[in-house]
Amino acid sequence: MAAEETYPEDLRYHADHDWARVAGDEATLGITWFAQDALGELVHYEAPAVGSAVGKGEPYGEVESVKAVSDVIAPLSGEVLEVNENVVREPETVNDDPYGEGWLVRIAMSDPSELDDLMDADAYRAHVAEQ
Amino acid sequence: MRCDGARVATVEATLQRTKLYERHVALGARMVPFAGFEMPVQYDGVISEHRSVRTDAGVFDVSHMGELHVDGPTAQAFLQSMLSNDVDRVADGEAQYTLLTNEHGGIVDDLILYRFAHGQFLLVVNASNRAAAYDWLKQREQRGTEVRDASDEYGLLAVQGPRSLERLRLPPAPPFTHALGEVDGIEVLVARTGYTGEQGVELCCAGDDAPALWDAILSRGVMPCGLGARDTLRLEVCYPLHGNDITPETDAVSAGLGWACALGTEFTGVEELRRIKETGPARKLVPFVMEERAIPRHGMAIEGGGEVTSGTHSPMLDQGIGMGYVPAALATPGVELVIDVRGKARHARVVEKPIYRKEA
């Protein structure tokens, strides 16, 4: 069943409804509760290749529900280290746990200064309220 | 997230609402604009709604569809000249799937005709074609026939699924028949028709009775279902959607709807349909299943000169499915198709109808 609406304090957020969890030079990326709720139950995750480059504000993959397809936007630039193959096999994991088991990729950041451009949870909640 | 599919739309003030609008909102439905109406696309979720119709029972508000009355001493002859199927074979209390065709054999709308006593007919037409179908018939109306758009007078609820009759406590009856009946004292026309491939009924009631009828149906444990599940259900059983799979530019023979065309009768465009049947269509509408993880969508190109007209993720098969027009040479079950899914070549295979068949 779908998760409750939450925006964890430890994440950084991009306006296109993507999140980043930073650990050292690496970041884990995913889509927010708002994004998965707007899309509905996900049935397909078109993942990038490991080793490919992602650019801040650029699409790096696609997620699809029964009705709609959506680009997934990278909140940060870097190189893909790992793809969540569990989500490739079971895309609904994103609906169940968007910030945990439903992560999409792990990247090596190429420009950590980009973090300054992202929103904290309070700013993102205000952004969502305007949607 | 940047959607290019069914984007969460800003609902405009000009949209119409069915009598059940407040019920949908109270149930937490996601409302979207569809055919000029604000309609529920889903309540709990497309997949759970879809599965409840395949295994139990679900109810759809289809009050946005059009109801046209065609009455009078010449109504039967008039409809025979306008519709592709053989009206003369429909007895009082029966219903028939048929097509309103244009001079080129193209499909103005697909609809269900219900026959009543004393030369009275009811046509249930697609919501998006309500005006087009009415105008088409009204402009061609003959002496002794009256065509009237009564869409705003009725509520229409489809209750579909293997347990729908049991839950509504309605007696079994043959498909494509109709009779007056009641649900919790509310008078309804009970039609053994639907758009899901499951056993079920469509209940037509007075518009003002629709909320009470909806409540009575939900109290029987029937799950509310939105337009999202309606689309996945119909596509699994290869029922065409007008505007996608069939249009005024596509003909019934190429669409595989020759069975709904009585080519021995005279109706608009019949000569063209006879010619296409004689020579064989250049392109045919075929169902297909994806051979890899990808979801086909309306408008995607099929290699060799074809096009996807409907595509989705099948909740029962858990894979991408669709229908599309392909050159006749490719229109054989087992043939491999290559579909351009946003720049990636994805493989699919033509299958027999229906795409999903319940295990015996």
Residues in chain B with CB shorter than 8 Å from the CB of A62 are 342
Q: Is B295 on the interface with A (CB under 8 A)?
A: yes
Give kind and range of the element (H or E) at residue B350.
strand B344-350
Q: Is A68 on the interface with B (CB under 8 A)?
A: yes
Tell me how far CA of residue B201 lies from CA of B55, B58, B61, B112, in angstroms: 15, 11, 12, 13
Q: What is the pLDDT of residues B32-91, one digit of tens each?
A: 999 999 999 999 999 999 999 999 999 999 999 999 999 999 999 999 999 999 999 999
Radius of gyration over alpha carbons of chain B, in Å? 20
Residue B6 has pLDDT above 50, yes or no: no
Strand partners, B205: B155
Q: What is the pLDDT of residues B316-328, one digit of tens each?
A: 999 999 999 999 9
Q: Which of A42, A43, A130 to mutate to test the interface with B (most CBs of B within 10 A)?
A: A43
Answer yes or no: is A1 within a domain.
no
Answer yes or no: is A4 within a domain.
no
Ordered strands of the B66-71 beta sheet: B95-101, B107-116, B120-125, B66-71, B146-149
| CATH number of the structural domain B21-61+153-235 | 3.30.1360.120
Closest Cα to residue B46, out of A63, A18, A68? A68
Residues spanned by CATH 2.40.30.110 within chain B?
A: 282-360
d(CA B51, CA B202): 19
**pLDDT of chain A, 131 residues: tens digit per residue:** 568 899 999 999 999 999 999 999 999 999 999 999 999 999 999 999 999 999 999 999 999 999 889 999 999 999 999 999 999 999 999 999 999 999 999 999 999 999 999 999 999 999 999 98
Answer yes or no: is A30 within a domain.
yes
Answer yes or no: is A3 within a domain.
no
Which CATH number do you get for residue A25? 2.40.50.100
Residues spanned by CATH 3.30.1360.120 within chain B?
A: 21-61+153-235
pLDDT for B238 equals 98
Give residue B116's identity as a one-letter amino acid code: F
For A64, name the nearest residue in chain B, comparing CA atoms only: B295
Task: Give chain A's domain count.
Answer: 1
Answer yes or no: is A7 within a domain.
no
Answer yes or no: is A125 within a domain.
yes
For B42, name the nearest residue in chain A, comparing CA atoms only: A40
Look at B1-10, B96-105, B222-231 and tell me which has the smallest mean pLDDT. Answer: B1-10
For B48, name the nearest residue in chain A, comparing CA atoms only: A41
For B3, name the nearest residue in chain A, comparing CA atoms only: A70
Residues 6+ positions from A75 with CB-CB distance below 8 Å: A12, A13, A14, A16, A18, A19, A20, A29, A56, A114, A118
Q: Is there a contact between A71 and B5 if contact means CB atoms under 8 Å apart? A: no
Q: Is A18 on the interface with B (CB under 8 A)?
A: yes
Q: Is A115 on the interface with B (CB under 8 A)?
A: no
pTM: 0.93
| ipTM confidence | 0.85
d(CA A54, CA A34): 22
Q: Is B322 on the interface with A (CB under 8 A)?
A: no
pLDDT for B84 equals 98
Instruction: Give percent above pLDDT 90 in chain B.
Output: 95
CATH classification of B282-360, choosing from 2.70.98.10, 3.40.50.2000, 1.50.40.10, 2.40.30.110?
2.40.30.110
What residues make up the domain containing A109? Answer: 12-129
Answer yes or no: is A88 within a domain.
yes
